[in-house]
Structure 1
């Protein structure tokens, strides 16, 4: 079957390029249209290319193995060296020395040096991004090492150096003021063309330090609609399709020409609550709200998998944070009613609870860029009404949630929260549940013990000690529910049956394209 559908999308990409998008191909600006070629690995994903700066789209160039970081996550979910060979921290934890590989060549033929790496990391540190959260006081080159000094011990430094915003690029990638003009990385694939926001063309790099990729050419296409991506997998117009909707997974499993791979990922759908509101200012109210939610019903109907019902914040894949012995978040609407009555809430004439002249009517904000969120909100509306809680749903831009957090107008929000953007969940936890909370985390919640645990975890490198502290912190979040976990998430991927060695990465760091090959 021809790839006409994919070609039509390429035509759209070309129109956008002519309209003003930038394409770089070997230093030449222009529009280079790809033809339908069965030797090209065609990838479809919802992720658009919002620019060339690593902080904006580094995740794509990292996942496509075009650019690499000093550290990465291996298949056992461990932080391991990538462009680094190892690291050493001083006894006081204030100085890290990171040794670099000495056999790495950039795609333009220039060698990777400690000076170039230090310049890239300093550039990342000076700009908004995760590296700014680390207590770094200096980054410099010393021989073939990178020396990073800190104002206080920071155990998560390798995990932060695995974040996509710290990809290492050749000096030729930047203009005179440090803006990225082209992606010249060190990975298995070199970037031949970029047409924001839709397309990337790549080819195998002969001098990759880890050997040559099996497949010569790769073409990436951003396709926002899940239904369209499923059609491309079904018709063979794409060889690898990312982020399938649950209904598409069911449909594609019946196609003998398509293989479907599903993995649970460190991402949780949760209710963010404003604890300054009279509805949520008492722990017992939040516990009642949690008890009124039938997570298995939501997971079964919306996610098509009851195993995704969140019994706690962290799914089992986050091994160091998930606690199999933790009391689960139950569904018990009668107990929810009893707790709300104990907290002083009494049913009004229409069944909605009231207290001190205030009706238990709440507006929950959410967004449709994750298509399951409005569906989950609708299910919550019905379930909470059963215990006397009125829920109004406001579906808008995701930007309305941090805006409502900042100005205090947010009552509740239904969001999805990833614990793998930095491949150590503590990075997200300390942002969301540390002092002051965060846009996507706690709001007006204060817990001195949790704050002390977060401060200690930032510094502690001992694995056993960290595990104990993480368990205590998870217990606090489960008991006090500053945010309420609802369902966990899956990453579903469809691949052509002619592809071998396909795998999903739960931490979403790598598509492992260099491992793929065409079936013989």
Structure 2
């Protein structure tokens, strides 16, 4: 056979192979591309890789760390790394630990490792008056407190109480992120993104997502553009206007859900002017809460009636949203002796009715709300100066009592018990959010509720505490937070958790 003939035959053979391959691809089951297993997330807040007792929120949100007690989507306490717990007496609780839980370094979770983590949490957070922790067995511990703490299981659901491996500590210092969660910390990349990988030995089963790239976008518009460009698959905390744009796009899913958070203005009740209850009441009447929900938040919220939203079980149903009445606000200020002499700003004894309000832009709607508050107060003769700073600046101002008013989006359910939210209003509070307010009756109620073992009596104490706060107005609750996240429609099984703590779970997967 000639060389030319052999070449023709070889070409026919190659063509036949290609044809058969194509037919195989067309018939029977179609050939499928491997599913995407890398998730790229755009976060709204900073992503601290740090000791969980100091900054555990991102570590739990990102699925690196877990706690003894978990919270379900109805806000109820459920087993986490602890299978069960029970009060032995007023100052002793026994926790039974989940067996066969592995840390990211391959070691098993034991009573010893749990004891270490809980002791450090109690020492740092100061919410648990810890006496001692006894190891009963490899999977049982007995926690004893110096006084009754009925909310102990709830305190052990807060992210700062995360459990970590013994090798995370070196010479008394936290050095390594060795958690139990579905995603294992790998590295901080050159672009400052945080890379985690699915933990194959996770106690609930290996996650579908094999790698997560976490990026921080402090600006909401930049986050939105990163989602649209494909730079990330999922973003948190979407502006209302952007959410409406995405809801009309077939390629994206918008998740909207109320969470345990309220936008609130705290007053320094010892500051000149604000020490007067009638001035605080006038400010409350001057604020149109419904207009803020409609005009600033695009309807993604609800005007507040007291501290707690309906999706949390602790609110007093007798408390109603503050009435908006410019006429009432003006009459109250007249009664308090604040007079407008023609400048548009009220005065009293030569001093203008003028306050400074601090807020922050990491919650992108807060500066816009502040501008509306400024305009609504101007309508009754109060001048408001706005300072937009970092959230740390706002917190430092409150702790140092160097503020007039602070506007924040206050999380209420990171610790799923009302006592933490009420800590803001106790006169000896160590909370970062303090209105510099003293009421001995309120102090007595709150301290009694911490010891009350009867749930009905405890709820009654908290109802009465809310009535005092509603009457005295050390703070104004504006509206309840509705969280808005957005992601590519190919991502499955995401839900907004009411505590905002659990974001990246082992259930997530791409279609």
CA contact (8 A) 2:196 2:211 kept: yes
Q: Over residues 247-294 of structure 1, what are the superposed CA-to-partner deviations in whole Å (9 max), with x where a residue is unaligned?
A: 221121121010000112222222221212332223222111100011
For residue 209 of structure 1, report the CA deviation from its aligned partner. Answer: 1.8
SS of structure 1 residue aligned to 2:347: strand
- Which of these residues, 99, 104, 109, is aligned with residue 101 of structure 2? 104
Runs of 4+ in 1 over 6 A off after TM superposition: none
Q: Over residues 102-138 of structure 1, what are the superposed CA-to-partner deviations in whole Å (9 max), with x where a residue is unaligned?
A: 2212222211110111112223333x3x3x2221122
For residue 57 of structure 1, report the CA deviation from its aligned partner. Answer: 4.0
Task: Identify the residue that residue 375 of structure 1 maps to in structure 2.
Answer: 368
Task: Identify the residue that residue 118 of structure 1 maps to in structure 2.
Answer: 115
- Which of these residues, 156, 167, 176, is aligned with residue 172 of structure 1? 167
Task: Identify the residue that residue 318 of structure 1 maps to in structure 2.
Answer: 312
- Which of these residues, 419, 425, 437, is aligned with residue 418 of structure 2? 425
Task: Identify the residue that residue 68 of structure 1 maps to in structure 2.
Answer: 66
For residue 345 of structure 1, report the CA deviation from its aligned partner. Answer: 2.1
SS of structure 2 residue aligned to 1:487: strand
Unmatched 5+ stretches in structure 1: 1-36
- Which of these residues, 75, 81, 84, is aligned with residue 83 of structure 1? 81
SS of structure 2 residue aligned to 1:133: coil
For residue 337 of structure 1, report the CA deviation from its aligned partner. Answer: 1.0
The 5 Å alignment of 1:68-467 reads 68-91=66-89, 93-126=90-123, 128=124, 130=125, 132-143=126-137, 144-180=139-175, 182-195=176-189, 198-305=192-299, 307-321=301-315, 323-430=316-423, 432-436=424-428, 440-467=432-459
Shift in CA distance, 361/196, structure 1 to aligned 2, threshold 3 Å: farther
For residue 440 of structure 1, report the CA deviation from its aligned partner. Answer: 4.7
Task: Identify the residue that residue 16 of structure 1 maps to in structure 2.
Answer: none
Q: Tell me how far apart the structure 2 counterparts of residues 407 and 44 of structure 1 sit (CA, whole Å).
A: 33
Task: Identify the residue that residue 43 of structure 1 maps to in structure 2.
Answer: 41
Shift in CA distance, 62/408, structure 1 to aligned 2, threshold 3 Å: closer
Q: Tell me how far apart the structure 2 counterparts of residues 65 and 307 of structure 1 sit (CA, whole Å).
A: 27
For residue 69 of structure 1, report the CA deviation from its aligned partner. Answer: 0.8
Q: Tell me how far apart the structure 2 counterparts of residues 396 and 43 of structure 1 sit (CA, whole Å).
A: 25
Q: Over residues 468-491 of structure 1, what are the superposed CA-to-partner deviations in whole Å (9 max), with x where a residue is unaligned?
A: 222111121111110111222221
Shift in CA distance, 262/350, structure 1 to aligned 2, threshold 3 Å: same
Q: Tell me how far apart the structure 2 counterparts of residues 43 and 204 of structure 1 sit (CA, whole Å).
A: 15
SS of structure 2 residue aligned to 1:271: strand
CA contact (8 A) 1:417 1:440 kept: no
Q: Tell me how far apart the structure 2 counterparts of residues 463 and 282 of structure 1 sit (CA, whole Å).
A: 36
For residue 358 of structure 1, report the CA deviation from its aligned partner. Answer: 2.4
- Which of these residues, 453, 468, 479, is aligned with residue 476 of structure 1? 468
Q: Tell me how far apart the structure 2 counterparts of residues 245 and 470 of structure 1 sit (CA, whole Å).
A: 34
Q: Tell me how far apart the structure 2 counterparts of residues 61 and 399 of structure 1 sit (CA, whole Å).
A: 19
Q: Tell me how far apart the structure 1 counterparts of residues 191 and 417 of structure 2 sit (CA, whole Å).
A: 29
Q: Tell me how far apart the structure 1 counterparts of residues 346 and 355 of structure 2 sit (CA, whole Å).
A: 11
Q: Tell me how far apart the structure 1 counterparts of residues 256 and 450 of structure 2 sit (CA, whole Å).
A: 32
Q: Tell me how far apart the structure 2 counterparts of residues 120 and 438 of structure 1 sit (CA, whole Å).
A: 22
Q: Tell me how far apart the structure 1 counterparts of residues 184 and 382 of structure 2 sit (CA, whole Å).
A: 55
Q: Over residues 394-416 of structure 1, what are the superposed CA-to-partner deviations in whole Å (9 max), with x where a residue is unaligned?
A: 23343443444455442222222
Task: Identify the residue that residue 27 of structure 2 maps to in structure 1.
Answer: none
Unmatched 5+ stretches in structure 2: 1-34
CA contact (8 A) 1:374 1:395 kept: yes
CA contact (8 A) 2:49 2:59 kept: no
Shift in CA distance, 481/251, structure 1 to aligned 2, threshold 3 Å: same
Is 1:488 aligned with 2:480?
A: yes
Q: Tell me how far apart the structure 2 counterparts of residues 328 and 491 of structure 1 sit (CA, whole Å).
A: 21
Shift in CA distance, 406/82, structure 1 to aligned 2, threshold 3 Å: closer
Give the structure with higher Rg (CA): 2
CA contact (8 A) 1:115 1:140 kept: no
Q: Over residues 128-187 of structure 1, what are the superposed CA-to-partner deviations in whole Å (9 max), with x where a residue is unaligned?
A: 3x3x2221122232212122111110111111111112211112223233322x222222
Q: Tell me how far apart the structure 1 counterparts of residues 55 and 401 of structure 2 sit (CA, whole Å).
A: 31
Q: Tell me how far apart the structure 1 counterparts of residues 465 and 367 of structure 2 sit (CA, whole Å).
A: 30
TM-score (norm 2): 0.87
Q: Over residues 82-102 of structure 1, what are the superposed CA-to-partner deviations in whole Å (9 max), with x where a residue is unaligned?
A: 0101112133x1111111112
Q: Over residues 288-330 of structure 1, what are the superposed CA-to-partner deviations in whole Å (9 max), with x where a residue is unaligned?
A: 1100011111222221117422232222222222x34423211
CA contact (8 A) 1:441 1:483 kept: no
CA contact (8 A) 2:395 2:433 kept: no
For residue 445 of structure 1, report the CA deviation from its aligned partner. Answer: 2.0
CA contact (8 A) 1:297 1:306 kept: no
